Chain A
Amino acid sequence: MDREPRPHMMPPSGTVSSSGTVPPPRDGPRLHVRLTTVALDPEAVRARVAARAAGATVVMVGSTRGMTDGVETVALEYEAHVPLAERVLEGILAAAVAAHDLLGAAVEHRLGRVPVGVASIVVATAAAHRRGAFAAAEWIVDQVKRSVPIWKCDEAPDGTRQWVHPGDLHGTADGRPDR
């Protein structure tokens, strides 16, 4: 079996994308995307969207759940098609900014093994008012689950592992052709 790591899957350096921050226009919305094998820092992600004009900032932290429908999980392992995932994530954030008049939007997602209780995703949004920030954060998470090429492998207490592939085809938030 070929298990040699490839640069776009799991680099040893930790941070997969050091250039994931999208340069904003002057005084424009701040966008930030990062896939990483190191622990996520919600406060650092919040800081990525900080803006003087913001009246509301929402930070959503998703973590590995220890029990789902009576089935125990000890950890999730994530992998991604990193270049494609970054491109799709950037498209999602840009769409969220446009739809909700955001001042900033950021998403960081873990790769590698994430034990129960540890953060696997952090989404942050900033807006002048709370409704847009809340709505955008929820929409971004929905789109990540629907269309970003990231996969989780469920690890059970007995060591068995199972990749999770939902029944529905992923969506077209990035404009890809629908199949």
Chain B
Amino acid sequence: MSAAPATPSCPPSAGGASGKVTVDLFAGMAALAGCRRVCLDWSGGDVAALRRALARACPAVAPLLERSAVALGDRYAADDERVAEGSTAAVIPPVSGG
């Protein structure tokens, strides 16, 4: 697995920073990004905007991101839901449990 140089990975402690949003990555999404957590510059916006920002910051994840859901906390979020500055989101790629 090779890390994409442009991927703005950040430590777990970075969550909650103003002007930022933290995105947790799982499974193949993390493998593509080369990290499990990404910090993006964020001044507010919806889930759709977050998807675009993540794809710009880490182009390698874009195809799988298209097939993925986004979660805020312990619930799935629709593309028009607001993502607050300083919050943490998670990208949920197609599942394969069981």
Contacts and interface: CB of A to CB of B under 8 A. Distances in A.
Given A78-B97, A169-B94, A1 B28 contact: no
The B contact surface, by secondary structure, is: loop
A147 B79 CA distance: 18
Contacts, number: 117
B98 A149 contact: no
A152 B24 CA distance: 17
A51 to B, nearest CB: 25
B86 interface: no
Contacts of B84: none
Nearest to B3: A1
A176 B69 contact: yes
A150 B97 contact: yes
A168 interface: yes
Interface in A52-81: 62, 78-81
Interface of B: 1, 3, 9-12, 24, 26-28, 31, 34-37, 64, 67, 69, 71, 73-79, 90, 92-98
Interface of A: 1-4, 6, 9, 62, 78-81, 83-87, 109, 120-121, 141, 144-153, 163-170, 174, 176-177, 179
